[in-house]
Structure 1
Amino acid sequence: MNGSTQKHALFPIKNVIGFGLSLLLTFVAIALGVSHALAFGPVMMIIMGLAVLQIIVQLFFFMHFTESDGPAYHIIGLAIGIINTIAIIAGTLWIMTFNSQVH
């Protein structure tokens, strides 16, 4: 088997593993939120960590982040997306903080 055939032979297994990990991370976040086992702050931090892990699983198992042969355009796109996300979150927090000081 050549390299291309080997990649395609493992394709369904990789998707099943990614799907299983996605389900596991989702169910852990739901169970943590529903159980009220911890205070609000720690629960939010853990859920945000699980969200980051979910993003990593999606990038590597479904979006084939590391399987590109050409230039690293996908890395540039990801960096721009991260910068935009940080700007939107920071702007939202800034607006919510300012709004709470006005009232």
Structure 2
Amino acid sequence: MSEPTYRDEARGYLIGFGFALVLTLIPFALVIWGDLGPAMTLGALGVCALAQLVVQLRYFLHIDLSRQKREDLQLILFSSLLLIMMAGGTIWIIGNLGMRM
């Protein structure tokens, strides 16, 4: 596979920036002008957050599902799992201690 040119890289960054900007403005618009109700607004915010994560990984960190990038993706997923376990365990312990007080 050939090395991407400056024009290709700049195009990719601009596409990613456009997606990131739209996925940032949609939640702001939903919160400011939205009449969806709290549950639908929260769900839409979650969907936009997940889409934003995918855009950041794909366009700015250059993580995709190709064979050579799979190790980087596994490293990110494992680190995320450890952080979720540590944060979740901390919240669980603090909540349990709070109930016992």
> Into which bin does the TM-score normalised by the smaller protein fall?
0.7 to 0.9
One-letter code of the match for 1:43?
A: T
Q: Does residue 30 of structure 1 match 2:28? A: yes
**CA–CA distance in 2 between the matches of 1:42 and 1:99?**
33
> What's the TM-score once normalised by structure 2's chain length?
0.75
Q: Which runs of 5+ in 2 are unaligned?
A: none
Q: Does residue 44 of structure 1 match 2:42? A: yes
Instruction: Assess, with a 3 A threshold, how the Cα gap between structure 1 residues 36 and 93 changes in structure 2: closer, same or farther.
Output: farther
> What's the TM-score once normalised by structure 1's chain length?
0.74
Residue number in structure 2 paired with 1:64 = 62
Please state whether the residue corresponding to 1:18 is helix, strand or coil. Answer: helix
Q: Identify the structure with bigger relative contact order (alpha carbons < 8 Å, sequence gap 6+).
A: 1
Number of residue pairs the alignment of both structures matches: 100
Residue identity (%) = 23
State which of 50, 73, 77 in structure 1 corresponds to 2:71.
73
Q: Which runs of 5+ in 1 are unaligned?
A: none
Please state whether the residue corresponding to 1:10 is helix, strand or coil. Answer: helix
**CA–CA distance in 1 between the matches of 2:80 and 2:34?**
31
**CA–CA distance in 2 between the matches of 1:39 and 1:100?**
31
